[in-house]
Amino acid sequence: MESFSALMDGFATALTPINLMWSLVGVTLGTLIGILPGIGPALTIALLLPVTRTLDPTGAFIMFAGLYYGAMYGSSTTSILLNTPGESGSIITALEGNQMARRGRGAAALATAAIGSFVAGTVGTLLLSFLAPVFVKLAIMFGPAEYFALMVLAFATVSTLLGASMVRGITSLMIGLAFGLAGTDILTGQPRLVFGIPSMLRGIDTVVVAVGLFAVGEALYMASRRDLREAVILPIQGSLFMTREEWRRSWKPWLRGTLIGFPFGALPAGGTEIPTFLSYYVEKKLAKNPREFGQGAIEGVAGPEAANNAAVAGVLVPLLALGLPTSATAAILLAAFEQYNLQPGPQLFTASGSLVWGLIASLYIGNVMLLVLNLPLAGLWVRLLSIPQPLLYGGILVFSTLGVYSLSNSVFDLVLLFAVGVIGFLMRRYDFPVAPAIIGLILGPMAEAQFRRALTISQGDPSVFVTHPLSLALLVIALLVLLVPAVISLVRARNAAAPLA
């Protein structure tokens, strides 16, 4: 019950006028960027970092978390009406949602997405409130060896589960790790990958890499594809009040989506994409009439939309309790914590309790705000979709260069941004997932620090990682994550070849 009283204190923090304002700013901005294709929560938070440096951290994090939730609400609108997802967590929503809109049931699709997001967001936040303290108790048992093993597990899952193939995922991770190496080694002051350039001594800023990969890389890629330039916006048709039948078909997928989304967010499994795919698959299997899937089945919108919001709540559990980011946005949030010299993990709950619980409480409030913003006001937001692509990307690049330049008033950072942007373009073009690179960039230096700390404690004996039971268990799971998909595909290939032989 201690977390209950802490949560009540959190509400006291979150309900102050200034924090309510930050929450409103966050959810509004989140809905906006969720709706706009080409700009997502990770990029937006990265661009806001230089601006929020002087803000009170509690207000800033309330805004960031509201933004993350809001992006999941907003992106469903784009999926449904434009058939291009606003964010990767809504790819699957486009399948059924756009079909519903084509058949004149767009309003019902928007409604089930918004209400499902609300149900999942609220249940997810509830689970977060009570699970985070449990994770904190677990985290206290962690030493450097266990933390290192946990990060290795996160590396293994994000690079296997995201993207078209494991090789591509691992490559992306390695690129991120390589970016993380550059700069002055903290423990010895040794310059690494500096090449005699003084500006490189402070390393490559997270914001530069995130903005380069997400904004510049994306703009170059979208410009290169003539076929992706024209999209048809469907009008909202039908009533926003769902019929009794639609409610009946929606409530179970909402709850199932929540139960699928939350644990996937909390596990180091790369955020919101996978649970939405899984939820869609489950709904299709359970449907009385699976034929309807692909032609506008409301379950296919309700389930995945609940799953992506629940996953966001899940992502916050390991982020706050362990300092372990499991999605690209969470990795940027971790960089935000670093900016304020805050260390997520057990210390955060004791030293900055009012920040953590104020943040969690604000999510309950933010969810209510988002339901209001996205349901009755859906018609207003839709107008954003009519912003012509040339102006949208022109604006994104102006803001991106502005954000990167204002990090430290350095033109060299803009040169780096350009270089990273070209890498981002190549990664998109050749189908490499971007999220593992972001996670590698942020977690890499931390993993190295824990690795060296563990070895210093053991006086250079590398067996610490396998003699500590918890660390061994985590490393074995990481190994299985890497090996099992490879074995499965090998067996499949054999079975497929067998009838021919």
Confirm or reject binding of residue 132 to other proteins (CB under 8 A): no
Q: Residue type for 442, please?
A: I
The reply on whether position 245 binds other proteins by CB under 8 A is no
Tell me whether residue 226 or residue 288 sits nearer to other proteins (CB atom): 226
Candidate residues 36, 200, 204, 219; the one interacting with other proteins per rule CB under 8 A = 219
Tell me the residue type at 45: I
Amino acid identity at 384? L
Task: Using only the alpha carbons of the chain, give its radius of gyration.
Answer: 22
Given the complex with other proteins, which of 44 and 308 has the nearer CB atom?
Answer: 44
Among residues 118, 135, 393, 465, which is the contact residue for other proteins, using CB under 8 A? 393
**Residue closer to other proteins, measured from CB, 149 or 297:** 149
> Could you give the CA distance from residue 134 to residue 140 in angstroms, rounded to a whole number?
10
Site for other proteins in 419-458 (CB under 8 A): 421-422, 425-426, 429-431, 444, 448, 451-452, 455-456
Closest CA to 69 of 11, 27, 123: 27
Q: Which is nearer to other proteins, 73 or 451 (CB)?
A: 451
User: Segment 159-198, which members bind other proteins (CB under 8 A)?
Assistant: 164, 167-168, 170-171, 173-175, 177-178, 181, 185, 187-188, 190, 192-193
Residue from the set 289, 409, 463, 495 that interacts with other proteins by CB under 8 A: 409
Residue corresponding to tokens 């991770």? 173
Among 240, 414, 470, 482, indicate the residue that binds other proteins (CB under 8 A). 414
Q: Which of the residues 258 through 287 are near other proteins (CB under 8 A)?
A: none
Q: What tokens does 48 get? A: 């806001």
3-state secondary structure 443-484: HHHHHHHHHHHHHHHCCCCCCHHHHCHHHHHHHHHHHHHHHH
CB of 212 to other proteins, least distance (A): 11
Q: What is the DSSP string of 276-327?
A: HHHHHHHHHHH-S-GGGTTS--THHHHHHHHHHHHHHHHHHHHHHHH----S
DSSP calls for 178-204: HHHH-EE-TTT--EES-TT-GGGGG--
Q: Which residue has the tokens 């204190």?
A: 9
Burial status of residue 353 (CB atoms within 10 A of its CB: 0-12, 13-18, 19 or more): middle
Which residues touch 64 (CB under 8 Å, ≥6 apart)? 26, 45, 48, 333, 336
**Strand partners of residue 184:** 191
Q: Which stretch binds other proteins (CB under 8 A): 142-150, 223-231, 277-285, 319-327?
A: 223-231
| Least distance CB 257 / other proteins (angstroms) | 27
Of 161, 222, 356, 370, the one binding other proteins by CB under 8 A = 222
Contact pick of 1, 140, 226, 288 for other proteins (by CB under 8 A) = 226
Q: How far is the CB of 341 from other proteins (least distance, A)?
A: 21
Residue 457 is which amino acid?
Answer: I
Query: Whole-number minimum distance, CB 65 to other proteins, in Å?
Result: 22
User: One symbol per residue from 77 to 96: x for binding other proteins (CB under 8 A), - otherwise; what is it?
Assistant: --------------------
- On the CB side of 363, CA atoms within 13 Å amount to 29
For other proteins, give the closer residue by CB, 162 or 216. Answer: 216
Name the token pair of 25. Answer: 């700013």
CB of 159 to other proteins, least distance (A): 10
Beta carbon nearer to other proteins, 203 or 358? 203
Q: Two tokens at 61?
A: 């994090």
End-to-end CA distance of the chain: 64
Select 274 or 373, whichever has its Cβ closest to other proteins.
274
> With contact defined as beta carbons under 8 Å apart, do 413 and 46 qualify?
no
What is the smallest separation between the CB atom of 160 and other proteins, expressed in angstroms? 13
Using CB under 8 A as the criterion, which residues of the chain lie in contact with other proteins when the complex forms? Answer: 50-51, 54, 164, 167-168, 170-171, 173-175, 177-178, 181, 185, 187-188, 190, 192-193, 216, 219-220, 222-227, 229, 388-391, 393-395, 397-399, 401-402, 405-406, 409, 411, 414-415, 417-418, 421-422, 425-426, 429-431, 444, 448, 451-452, 455-456, 460
